[in-house]
Chains A and B, each alone.
Chain A
């Protein structure tokens, strides 16, 4: 039995009796059991919990034969969560030794919504500890390997989320994106990833990294699945006060898509660049008008990010004192220590104005530029990362080099705009390639529309690594 490759067909298959939810769980648990010792994408596998939910789903189907998806839009979808999402009664580690034994007494809003929508939780996924990293190598639970080629990183920080999907271990994964942490692993594992608008999906119950930048999103094999999950997770919950419900209306005029010229200068790998040229021609075929836009200050984005983010990290990680839950601060790994120190420094007396305040002001200039660009164009096409997947170990001893991986990711987080990472093409050495589509705040519907049309026009079919 092979499960359907998208949510809609999966529901159809369950309804028509082609397979049962129990069979789905069997299929994925068998694969995890057989192959995850190579990939290391899971920290915790929730076997009994998944079987219990599968039995509930199969029972619900008997009672509600015709359209269970009306009440349960993600009926029988097998899901795994980045281990930053709190799950009541199920260990949540943030991939750090500090929380190795932590069992939450409540679940994140997003987790509750996904479970109430009919998802079957199969496990908790590996990532860089506290979501600090671009390769997964900062996990206290070992490296996750890229299923397309074990010598390469799957991208981080949501390393397990990309790798588990590409390994066919589940149907949907969740992630957090503070500066590319969903888009990069989606891109490096040939999956679709959504970094939603800041303020569209609740952060309640998700281990905080940098609170003005953290976006809660997910990965899937198709844009349609991304939309279905977003429709469940988005919206005001009464717990996260940054949330707003979107009132975006999708127009039907000819689309103008911008190409930021500053993103296509030195430092961009030629294979990535040539691949994006093909992407652009596909959008032209779809009738989009392609124009050049200029975002001259985005080149400062990463510098702004590496001041604001550690500042917020040092504040958020201040709560881990080992008194109420979790272990002592001695258990923080190197990367967390680096960021806490950098953050405390830029906030410290005498340096605040020169670093933190300065960065917040440059952030305003970048955001203004982005807003101006969107008064001219509907969406922007950009690379996700400057190169195809890199080797494990390649950047691990040089933090600055690792940080520069996220040079194209920073703009969306600083400006709080949504970005959809789409897979397209492979490098000569067989590694996944792709691009990101950014839109104005709360324009997810437009990105989904473009993503769907791109998939159709380019003849996209979901692909999985052979393990």
Chain B
């Protein structure tokens, strides 16, 4: 995979699709402008020499935190589905993603 360098413009439509967001055309225009300015601002990181630096993903220094594998009380099924009117036999009803057109 080729690594792209710093860019000035984000392909908003493409990224919105990746993020499952529907945007209006005026949002696309506005975000292109606003996020372009932010991308330009954060480009100052290229001034920093990082070739000897390892990435930091957390600051606690903890590694592989474990607990005893014990069964504890958890949410009841009733509680777990309590937030959706749209359930069936204790399951969530989800939108259809595959359609059987021809039988």
User: B80: which A residues are within 8 A, CB to CB?
Assistant: 105, 324
**B1-36 Cβ-contact flags toward A at 8 Å (1 or 0):** 111111100101001101111110001000100110
User: B22: which A residues are within 8 A, CB to CB?
Assistant: 329-330
A340, B62: Cβ atoms under 8 Å? no
Stretch of A150-158, A347-355, A387-395 with 4 or more beta carbons under 8 angstroms from chain B: A347-355
Q: In the complex, how many residues of chain A place their beta carbon closer than 8 angstroms to a beta carbon of chain B? A: 59
Q: Can you list 5 A-B pairs with a CB-CB distance of less than 8 A?
A: A304-B45, A323-B95, A349-B1, A399-B34, A415-B59
Chain A contact residues: helix, strand, loop or mixed: helix
Interface residues on B, range: 35 or more
Using a CB-CB cutoff of 8 Å, which residues 297-327 of chain A contact chain B?
297, 300, 303-304, 306-307, 314, 318, 321, 323-326
7 new A-B pairs (CB below 8 Å) besides A198-B59, A358-B45?
A212-B59, A303-B41, A307-B42, A325-B83, A341-B16, A344-B19, A416-B59
Listed from nearest, the 4 A-B pairs whose CB atoms lie closest are: A416-B59, A360-B55, A325-B83, A361-B50
Question: Does any Cβ of B come within 8 Å of A79's Cβ?
Answer: no
A364, B55: Cβ atoms under 8 Å? yes
User: B94: which A residues are within 8 A, CB to CB?
Assistant: 323
Contacts A241-B65, A314-B19, A340-B21; A303 near B45 (Cβ below 8 A): yes
Nearest residue (CB) in A for B79 is A105
B4, A362: Cβ atoms under 8 Å? no
A-to-B contact residues, CB < 8 Å: 102-103, 105-106, 198-199, 212, 238, 241-242, 244, 297, 300, 303-304, 306-307, 314, 318, 321, 323-326, 329-330, 332, 334, 337-338, 340-342, 344-345, 348-351, 353-355, 357-365, 367, 398-400, 403, 415-416, 441
Question: Does any Cβ of A come within 8 Å of B89's Cβ?
Answer: no
Nearest chain B CB to A87 CB, angstrom units: 14
Nearest residue (CB) in B for A198 is B59
User: A351: which B residues are within 8 A, CB to CB?
Assistant: 4, 7
Nearest residue (CB) in A for B47 is A300
B38, A244: Cβ atoms under 8 Å? no
B83, A350: Cβ atoms under 8 Å? no
User: B45: which A residues are within 8 A, CB to CB?
Assistant: 300, 303-304, 307, 358-359, 362
